[in-house]
Amino acid sequence: MIFKTKPLSRRTLLRGTGAAISLPLLDAMTSSASAAAPTSPVRRIGYVYIPMGFNPSEWTPTDDGPLASLPSSLSPLAPVKDHLTVMTGMDLQNAYPGSHATSNSAFLSAARAKLTESTDYYLGTTVDQIAAQRIGQQSPLASLELAMDSANTVGQCDNGYACVYQNNLSWSSPTTPLPSESHPRLVFEMLFGDGGSPAERRAALKQRASLLDSVTEEMKRLQGRLGSGDRNKVDDYLSSIREVERRIQTSEANAKDNPLPDLDRPIGVPAAYADHARLMFQLQALAFRGDITRVITFQLAREASNRTYPEIGVPDPHHPTTHHGNNPEKLAKVAKINRFHVSLFAEFLQSLAAIPEGEGSMLDNSLFLYGSGMGDPDAHDHSNLPILLAGGGAAKIRGGRHVRYDNPMPLSNLHLTLLNQVGVPLETFADSTGRIDGLFDPVTL
């Protein structure tokens, strides 16, 4: 398609009262010359954290190399297997001595947390924030920090470590943890609010039945400049926003029917864990799709969480179950929880793969690291971590493989490799010993 007019800016917005909606990447935002140019390197990166390790017997592929089949805990990822690399033998030495707090804090920092119960905590700048300093500056939000649990614990949480280590995945400096948001409504406002205090944004939202109602006139004006393909993209994107908004409103309306929610779950979110997680993943997809942010962290549950999962046949609290003592029944329940969390991540990846973008899909233009800072939860160790790498063609990922390291491979080496892959020319990160070769096809940054 050749455009005779000046391409739309990538920052083109639909504006209405109290709202500003970033548009997805459209054909009308590229000139004929740039449209013919090679696909640019991957420009999005996401980190998804699962707590309390895994059951390796149900997670680890039998064979190295091509993924002929996936073990039980990873089986939900079969539809996106070609976008997946399973990594065995990753190590996080600075998380020792073994604890829940350091599993969480070291996952993205690869740094040793200062042992303190007070406010003189000290860790390190996390890898997502290093990425945000480089690629995050090109979007309205440099990064987005999300969680499933409310960070309502303070003081000492685990073996003399302050709760701040357990509550926060992201740190913008060694002394500055970044709190995560777990309430879908507040995340929605962060993405689509238009300035003002949180109270002002909430008041603006209450004044209209739908966020999209206020941008109708802007949409009519824009449609005249778009081709049919672009109009379909915008319509689909706005429909997705409307559906997420509807789901949030329904959850808030139903809150009165659930007067005693899970203590870790904020009031006004979906009652079912899976529904809450899906909604949070949908919000991430919208944030990427509108180029509102290019860096996201998501904590699927907090370390030492006592959340139960009766919907998958695990009514027992998660944390005590992971102290399995090699009990086959408990190990089976750990594997079920692992599979449940993976299934939600798999749904998210499939949704991104279904969104066209450029010559491929949104998944093609993204990289994700999924895993835990703990290996065997019964031993509280930090070796042989459950680590998955997912992404697409523009990321140059060599997917559909199981990569095993016989000698422990520092997780910081993987962090360094991913930073390089998204265009951050760092030579070292934390205790890294070098870049990991062979995970990606060669790419010029």
Per residue in 129-156, pLDDT (tens digit) is 999 999 998 888 999 999 999 766 555 5
Share of the chain above pLDDT 70, in %: 83
> Of residues 137 and 376, which shows the higher confidence score?
376
Higher pLDDT, 8 or 301: 301
- Among residues 434, 425, 429, 433, the alpha carbon closest in space to that of 41 is found at 425
HSE-CB for 233 with a 13 A CA cutoff: 22
Average pLDDT over residues 71-93: 97
Q: What is the mean pLDDT of residues 187-211?
A: 65
Is the predicted pLDDT of residue 273 greater than 90, yes or no? yes
* Unique residue bearing structure tokens 């690291």: 369
Which band of pLDDT confidence, cut at 50, 70 and 90, is reported for residue 36? very low
For residue 303, the model assigns a pLDDT of: 94
Q: Is the pLDDT of residue 347 over 80?
A: yes
Q: Mean of the pLDDT values across residues 176-181?
A: 95
Contact assessment for residue 400 and residue 82, using Cβ atoms and an 8 Å cutoff: yes
Higher pLDDT, 60 or 195: 60
Report, as an integer, the average pLDDT of 155-179: 89
Q: How confident is the model at residue 256 (pLDDT cuts 50, 70, 90)?
A: low
Kindly report the backbone phi and psi dihedral angles of residue 390, in degrees, each rounded to the nearest multiple of 5, phi listed first.
Answer: -135, 145
Lowest-confidence region among 197-201, 271-275, 281-285: 197-201
Q: What is the pLDDT of residue 18?
A: 59
180 close to 48: Cβ distance less than 8 angstroms:
no
Give CA separation, 439 vs 47, 404, 423, in Å. 17, 12, 16
- Residue range 8-12: average pLDDT? 65
Q: For strands 176-178 and 170-173, give the pairing.
A: antiparallel
List phi, psi (to 5°) of 401: -140, 155
pLDDT value, residue 205: 55
Packed helices 273-289 and 228-254: angle between N→C axes, nearest 10 degrees: 150
Residue 111 has pLDDT above 60, yes or no: yes
- Over residues 322-341, the mean pLDDT reads 98
What is the band of 2 on the pLDDT scale with cuts at 50, 70, 90? very low
Task: Look at residue 445 in the predicted model and tell me its pLDDT.
Answer: 37
* Distances from the Cα of 343 to the Cα of 72, 80, 88, 240, angstroms: 11, 11, 20, 21
| 383/193: higher pLDDT | 383
Task: Give Cβ neighbours of residue 142 (< 8 Å, ≥ 6 apart).
Answer: 132, 133, 136, 293, 295
Instruction: Using the structure block, give the residue that is written with the tokens 């993209």.
Output: 233
How sure is the predictor about 73, in pLDDT bands with cuts at 50, 70 and 90? very high
Lowest mean pLDDT among 14-28, 320-334, 344-358: 14-28
CB 127 within 8 A of CB 433: no
Residue 3 pLDDT greater than 90, yes or no: no
Find where tokens 């995970």 sit: 439
Cis amide leading into 61 (omega within 30):
no
Q: Is it the case that residue 1 has pLDDT exceeding 50?
A: no
Q: Which amino acid is at 369?
A: L
Residue 412 one-letter amino acid: S
* DSSP 8-state code for residue 268: T
- Tell whether the model's pLDDT for residue 37 goes beyond 50: no
The answer to whether residue 271 scores a pLDDT higher than 90 is no
Q: What is the per-residue pLDDT for 429?
A: 98
Contacts of 3 (CB under 8 A, 6+ apart): 27, 28, 31, 32
Query: pTM (2 decimals)?
Result: 0.89
**CATH 3.40.720.10: which residues of the chain?**
45-182+269-421
- The span from the CA of 91 to the CA of 386, in Å, is 10
**Residue 128 CB-density burial (10 A; 0-12 exposed, 13-18 middle, 19+ buried):** buried
Could you tell me which residues come within 8 angstroms of residue 102 by beta carbon, excluding any fewer than 6 positions away? 94, 95, 96, 112, 113, 161, 165, 373, 382
Query: Average pLDDT in the 108-123 region?
Result: 95
Alpha-carbon torsion (389, 392, 395, 399), positive or negative:
positive
pLDDT at 56: 98
pLDDT for the residue 33: 41
pLDDT at res. 299 = 98
The average pLDDT across 166-178 equals: 96
Mean predicted confidence (pLDDT) in 10-17: 66
The residues, ordered by sequence, that sit 6+ positions from 420 with a Cβ below 8 Å of its Cβ are 426, 435, 445
Q: What is the mean pLDDT of the chain?
A: 86
3-state helix, strand, coil in the chain (%, to 5): 40, 20, 40
Question: How far is the CA of 287 from the CAs of 143, 145, 292, 358, in angstroms?
Answer: 10, 12, 5, 17
What CA–CA distance (Å, rounded) separates 52 from 34?
46
Kindly tell me if the per-residue pLDDT of 300 is higher than 80. Answer: yes
With a cut of 80, say whether residue 188 has pLDDT above it: yes
Residue 21 pLDDT level (bands cut at 50, 70, 90): confident
Q: Hey, what CATH class is 45-182+269-421 in?
A: alpha beta
CB atoms within 10 A of CB 207: 10
Q: In Å, how far from its chain's centre is CA 272? A: 19
**Phi–psi pair at 299, nearest 5 degrees:** -95, 105
- pLDDT above 90 coverage of the chain, percent: 63
Burial of residue 274 (CB within 10 Å: 0-12, 13-18, 19+) is: middle
Dihedral sign for Cα 280, 179, 384, 53, please. negative
Q: What pLDDT score was predicted for residue 9? A: 66
